[in-house]
Chain A
Amino acid sequence: MKSPASKLPWMLLLAAILIGLAAGTWGAVAKIDYAWRWNRIPQYFFYHGETAVKIPFDGRVDTILPQSDKVKVGLLSETNQRVTVTVDKGLLKASKGDDLFEGDTVGFVRQWHMGPLMWGLWTTMWLSAASSIMALFIGLITGLCRISKNLTLRGLAVIYVEFIRGTPLLVQIFIAYFFIGTVFNLNRNVAGVGALAIFAGAYVAEIVRAGIQSIPRGQMEAARSLGMSVLQSMVHIILPQALKRILPPLAGQFISLIKDSSLVSVIAITDLTKSGREIITSTFATFEVWLTVAAMYLVVTSLLSQLVFYMERRFAVSD
């Protein structure tokens, strides 16, 4: 007879191991005399910066109207064109009657900006999202070709899958950018998304094939016996059932894709990884930045797996 209390010692052991690991790491780092500077990191998420407000023409400062925390500045051009700009109080750099040339600074406004880490995260997310959607599409088509009766389609699918699975992603990215990208004059984002999509598509194809083949033959026969065409049977009967089964491996593939997208930093796409490298060159806070970057990847991937977990439960209604 198992009692729920018997869990406690094991949880304590788990906690002890985790604390031991953390303490060990801490001790090892203390030995090499590394100065932690975590306070440098937040500014790379968001920072409060000053943006210059510039005069759009040659002209002069006509009116200055102070308000509670802003200053409204009326600008008059030589051709009597009038423009009003707003700057922050105390950051006004011109006075009434000043003659200014086009592009001169009238004053500054203070605003919140996204730092390189957030921009990098954004780039990583759209890169992964775009290549996931393309990979799903490529994988679906290739997976269907893979089980087709037509020898040509099957042959093409097999060659594609074998070629992609047999070569390293890093090499594929280099080929996509430096070879195909040069020949067809592609920009780096297209080459990057393309390489990731084609890479993931090969794995998705295998997942789709396995999913479709796992549906009992009788399902297709029942659909066909009702007069549905192969395509109708696939769309209404086989694929919905297969999708439910392939959701967990598919999610694993997309999580992999998010992580693999870090490799596109080698063709100078400023994703999360490359942002991290750039921050290190200006702060030398190597440990902090890489730990932060790792944590950010972890947040994105765990959110995705939670989402898939939720979808799995939704689909489970017919079980």
Chain B
Amino acid sequence: MIKADNVVKVFSGRGVTVRAVDGVSTEVVKGEVVVIIGPSGSGKSTFLRCINGLETFDDGHIFIDGVDLANRKTDMNKVRAEVGMVFQQFNLFPHKTVLENVTLAQQVVRKRSSAEAKTKARKLLTKVGIAEKEGEYPSRLSGGQQQRVAIARALAMDPKIMLFDEPTSALDPEMVGEVLDVMKQLAREGMTMCVVTHEMGFAREVADRVLFMDEGKMVEEGTPEHFFTDPTEDRTKLFLSQVL
């Protein structure tokens, strides 16, 4: 589903160059839930953003369903329509109602009719548990509700892959649960997911595989049992001792 091959992303500015992603290779198969963890600045968000082309990368290849993102002829809009993304800051469209947030891209990108898009949107809003708020503007919703709308918005495009970029980091603690519940449900339904998160509980419970990144490099990867109980690398042990 996703195949990353020696991906390098270099940020340069003001005379400083940072290798944000430094030779990361991995593969995610269909239906797999991969959780990427690591300290801040380790390049995990940048790597995730490379996967749907929000960041361009400087070297290596990323294949989504066999399509090479490094190929300049690749239509990125087409690829992005197949890859849903959920952001830390929700990024709902504040001038549109909840329902419009979920229907807009369906109509503009997927060319669905208004009625069709609304039916789909209402089904998804029900699924994430906020059907009753469809007429509200995002500013009236709590953080947790906004993030669930953002998930519904991404799902409305029928993506093959869902990327989550620290979806619960901007939430009040009591709202983290409702968002994680939606994500767990998605994982159970067999969605291919890449999740950058600091929620170790979620990683342990839901992940099929955990990737640990530091300073742009993939330090360790393995099953949650291996990762949380018996990590091999010292860097991983140090990180886990600090967060657990």
Q: A226 and B93: CB pair below 8 A?
A: no
Candidate in B81, B82, B94 with the most chain A CB atoms within 10 angstroms:
B94
Q: B77 and A225: CB pair below 8 A?
A: no
The residue from B81, B94, B95, B150 contacting A227, defined by CB atoms under 8 A apart: B81
Q: B109 and A227: CB pair below 8 A?
A: yes
**Bound-complex Cα distance A218 to B54 (A):** 10
B91 CB contacts on chain A under 8 angstroms: 216, 218-219, 221-222
**Bound-complex Cα distance A240 to B95 (A):** 8
Q: A228 and B109: CB pair below 8 A?
A: yes
B108 CB contacts on chain A under 8 angstroms: 228, 232, 236
Chain B residues numbered 107-138 whose CB sits less than 8 Å from any CB in chain A? 108-109, 137-138
Closest to A315 in B: B95
A218 CB contacts on chain B under 8 angstroms: 87, 89, 91
Judge whether A237 is part of the interface by a CB distance below 8 angstroms. yes
Q: A241 and B52: CB pair below 8 A?
A: no
A318 CB contacts on chain B under 8 angstroms: 94-96, 137-139
- What 0/1 readout, one digit per residue, does chain B (179-223) give for beta carbons within 8 Å of chain A? 000000000000000000000000000000000000000000000
Q: B95 and A225: CB pair below 8 A?
A: no
Q: How many Å from the CB of B151 to the closest CB on chain A?
A: 12
In which size bucket is the chain A interface? 20 to 34
Q: Number of B residues contacting the other chain (C-beta, 8 Å)?
A: 29
Q: How many Å from the CB of A230 to the closest CB on chain B?
A: 9
Q: B54 and A221: CB pair below 8 A?
A: yes
Judge whether A317 is part of the interface by a CB distance below 8 angstroms. yes
A223 CB contacts on chain B under 8 angstroms: 93, 105
B93 CB contacts on chain A under 8 angstroms: 219, 222-223, 237, 241
**Bound-complex Cα distance A318 to B95 (A):** 6
A317 CB contacts on chain B under 8 angstroms: 137
Chain A residues numbered 241-296 whose CB sits less than 8 Å from any CB in chain B? 241, 244
Judge whether B154 is part of the interface by a CB distance below 8 angstroms. yes
Closest to B80 in A: A227
**Bound-complex Cα distance A229 to B75 (A):** 10
Q: How many Å from the CB of B210 to the closest CB on chain A?
A: 24
B153 CB contacts on chain A under 8 angstroms: 226
**Bound-complex Cα distance A228 to B53 (A):** 13
Q: A226 and B154: CB pair below 8 A?
A: yes
Judge whether A48 is part of the interface by a CB distance below 8 angstroms. no
A110 CB contacts on chain B under 8 angstroms: none
7 contacts between A and B (CB under 8 A): A223-B93, A223-B105, A224-B80, A225-B87, A226-B157, A241-B94, A317-B137
Identify the A interface with B (CB < 8 A): 216, 218-219, 221-229, 232, 236-237, 240-241, 244, 317-319
Can you add 13 more A-B contacts, CB < 8 Å, to A218-B91, A219-B91? A216-B89, A222-B150, A223-B93, A225-B87, A226-B80, A226-B154, A227-B78, A227-B109, A227-B157, A228-B77, A232-B109, A236-B104, A319-B137
